[in-house]
Amino acid sequence: MKKRKFGLALSLVLAAGTILGACGNDNDSETSGGGSKKDNFTVGMVTDIGGVDDKSFNQSAWEGLQEFGKENGLEKGKDGYNYVQSKSDADYTTNLNTLVRNKFDLIYGIGYLLAEPMGKVADQRKDSNFAIVDAVVEKPNVASITFTEQQGSFLVGVIAAKTTKSNKIGFIGGVDGSLINKFEVGFIAGVKSVNPKADVKVQYAGSFGAADKGQAIASSMYSSGIDIIYHASGGTGNGVFAAAKELKKKDPADNIWVIGVDRDQFEEGNVKAGDKEYNVTLTSMVKRVDIAVKDLASKTKNGDFPGGKVIEYGLDQNAVAIADHKENVSDDALKAVEEWTGKIKSGEIKVPSTRDELKTMKF
């Protein structure tokens, strides 16, 4: 498959010479070889089981779609932009076909769990355009959006290493697989590169929508002496925050933290203990799914649908980064982040994306 990177420019302005006339029709203008420029463009997305309000991955994608709709004067619904929420894996194919039947011009599948269903639907619906986030589907009518999550995870690992008091750090993943492994190994590499003595315990919940499991795992980790937990688990991560806030309420002096994921989860860390306000979010690894979704929708609307291609967003495009809320991060940690960011961008170090690659690193 041909792989190329697209920049994050979101301009919707086309040069006048590229606008094709359609025999006097001022509405839709067809372009050749890859799409059409449409004034009445519609776009929809299918969530994974984490839901559109998971305060993480799906929510970020939906925010990007809403922003795209706002900028283009679209309304929520079948004539503008919309989403269909999946309650189980069995819903994915049905939900994708629902958007096809409603004739959406671009249909997103949010999350790698939709890759297989999307591949099958794309084969059956060759006239429809699809985009998958966090997976690669090798079909001519599917654009694949990927991120270098390991790079952003490395940076929050640096912060964790500079912040921990116990040298015991935790990672909670949703479903154990190649995608979330990028978060896991990037994080461990970041921690170990700065603090080789720190121990990182890894545990998976087996779900992106099980807040109760997330809370149980986090509670166990905190009770074992772990003082910082990075989660890459979608809605399951809501339970990680719940565990940390519960402990903070019991003992405000307890030095425990959560590192959020996908979007800035600072607000999720707000907690009141007695008459004082606290926040247990140390930082977040922000993956700009919203920018990617908006960017690709803009390209497609303008007749430039990158079907069959992989669009990778990473540190170079500021598509992965630490969150803007930095009040809980020390100056020393921020300085270290700046130094390691330079090393990654220059190619001085290559952040591992698999467990095998992690094993080759020397700390």
| Structural domains in the chain, sorted by start | 3-147+288-316 (3.40.50.2300), 149-287+330-359 (3.40.50.2300)
> What pLDDT, on the 0 to 100 scale, is given for residue 31?
31
Q: How does DSSP classify residue 24?
A: T
Structural contact between residues 134 and 267, judged by C-beta atoms closer than 8 angstroms? no
> What pLDDT, on the 0 to 100 scale, is given for residue 54?
84
Angle between helices 178-194 and 331-346 (to 10 degrees): 120
Structural contact between residues 184 and 156, judged by C-beta atoms closer than 8 angstroms? no
Residues 6+ apart with CB under 8 A from 253: none
Nearest to 6 by CA among 350, 324, 316: 316
pLDDT, tens digit, 9 for 90 and up, residues 218-255: 999 999 999 999 999 999 999 999 999 999 999 999 99
How much is the pTM? 0.80
List of the chain residues with pLDDT < 70: 1-39
Take residue 164 and report the two structure tokens written for it. 């921990």
> What pLDDT, on the 0 to 100 scale, is given for residue 6?
40
pLDDT, tens digit, 9 for 90 and up, residues 46-105: 999 888 988 888 999 999 999 999 999 999 999 999 999 999 999 999 999 999 999 999
